[in-house]
Amino acid sequence: MINHHWTEPQKPGRVCILGNRGFVAAAVAQALVERGVATQTIGANEINLAGPDAGLQLAGRLRREDVLVFVAARAPSKTIPLFMENLAMAKAVGEAIGQTAPAQVIYISSDAVYRDDLDLVREGDCAHPGSLHGAMHVAREALLQAVYKGLLCVLRPSLLYGATDPHNGYGPNRFMRQVAAGQTITLFGEGEERRDHVWIRDVAEVVYRVIAHRSWGVLNVATGHSFSFREVAEQVVALFEKPVAIQGTPRQNPVMHRHYDSTAGFKAFPDFHYTPLKDGLAQTCLQGMKKL
């Protein structure tokens, strides 16, 4: 579901990343710098995207030949004030790119835009979010599409894991911290839900490739392999010398799985393959989870 403006990859000019301290923004910046790409991160300490005149300020920083990677968000956007703040940020970005029309805009969205009960997710599926967080991303995607007629690429990542994750959400990151601390891993129900977990470095790799090809369209960032939370917990425990218990709890909600049809990814980048969960977890474990 994405197309390449450049069939063969080319070294990009300057890339501006909106966000500098976040999990994704930092990983993308690191990957670009490692490849020698001129990279500029713009954090909230420089421009408060939700503040007055943010659009003008950002426009002053952008050049027509830039690639803009829009990562910044107050996440998860669970309340109305946060929802509105996130839209205000997008409004500022929309004003800025409306004025400067950069060469490419990449928006890091979320798979929360899809219906919660969608078992097999594809890029062509209707965005029908079941949460304010998903609605926020859909609204931002629509806003960007309305104001920017250039090469807009929307990436919708599944669940992410990696050593620098600051959220500690239910899944690999929390499990790893729990095992490192010798704590029991507690599952929701028996951890039956199957999810697609993506290593943060693979997200950065996809973003780099999208930049190098000047790609446009929509692409899910998912491996195509889903694992139950119990399987993930077991894989995490196996990485550590000192095992901990994995404990189920009475189920509160019905089991819902999520799988991805990764065909669009194969078509977009035939020579790129996601790191298998086992290897990604091992790498993360080696790096050591960042303390919260």
Q: Nearer to other proteins by C-beta: 241 or 271?
A: 271
Query: DSSP code of 214?
Result: T
Q: What's CA 245's distance to the chain center, in Å?
A: 30
Min separation Cβ 271 and other proteins, Å: 4
Among 85, 192, 234, 261, indicate the residue that binds other proteins (CB under 8 A). Answer: 261
Min separation Cβ 274 and other proteins, Å: 9
Query: DSSP code of 291?
Result: P
Min separation Cβ 279 and other proteins, Å: 12
By CB under 8 A, tell whether 266 contacts other proteins.
yes
Burial class (CB in 10 A: 0-12, 13-18, 19+), 47: buried
Write phi, then psi, for 75 (nearest 5 degrees).
-120, 150
Among 11, 35, 63, 267, indicate the residue that binds other proteins (CB under 8 A). Answer: 267
Long-range contacts of 167-171 (CB under 8 A, 24+ apart): 167/23, 167/75, 168/292, 170/229, 171/195, 171/197, 171/229, 171/232
Bond prior to 76 in cis (omega within 30° of 0)? yes
By CB under 8 A, tell whether 263 contacts other proteins.
yes
Binding mask 121-140 for other proteins (x = CB under 8 A): -x-x----------------
**Cβ pair 216, 151 in contact under 8 A:** yes
Q: Nearer to other proteins by C-beta: 178 or 215?
A: 215
By CB under 8 A, tell whether 192 contacts other proteins.
no
**Contact stretch for other proteins (CB under 8 A) within 66-74, 77-85, 178-186, 256-264:** 256-264
Q: Nearer to other proteins by C-beta: 184 or 263?
A: 263
What the block records as the tokens of 56 is 């003008």
**Contact stretch for other proteins (CB under 8 A) within 24-32, 86-94, 249-257, 268-276:** 268-276
Whether the CA torsion 39, 45, 48, 53 is positive or negative: it is: negative
Q: Nearer to other proteins by C-beta: 52 or 276?
A: 276
The string of DSSP codes covering 33-88 is HHTT--EEEE-TTT--TTSTTHHHHHHHH--TT-EEEE----SS--SHHHHHHHHH
By CB under 8 A, tell whether 271 contacts other proteins.
yes
> Residue 204 belongs to what H/E stretch?
helix 200-213
Q: Nearer to other proteins by C-beta: 137 or 194?
A: 194
By CB under 8 A, tell whether 262 contacts other proteins.
yes
**Contact stretch for other proteins (CB under 8 A) within 70-78, 229-237, 239-247, 263-271:** 263-271
- Site residues for other proteins, 200-239, by CB under 8 A, read 224
Of the candidates 274, 268, 262, the one whose C-alpha atom is nearest the C-alpha of residue 122 is 262
List residues binding other proteins (CB under 8 A). 122, 124, 224, 261-263, 266-267, 270-273
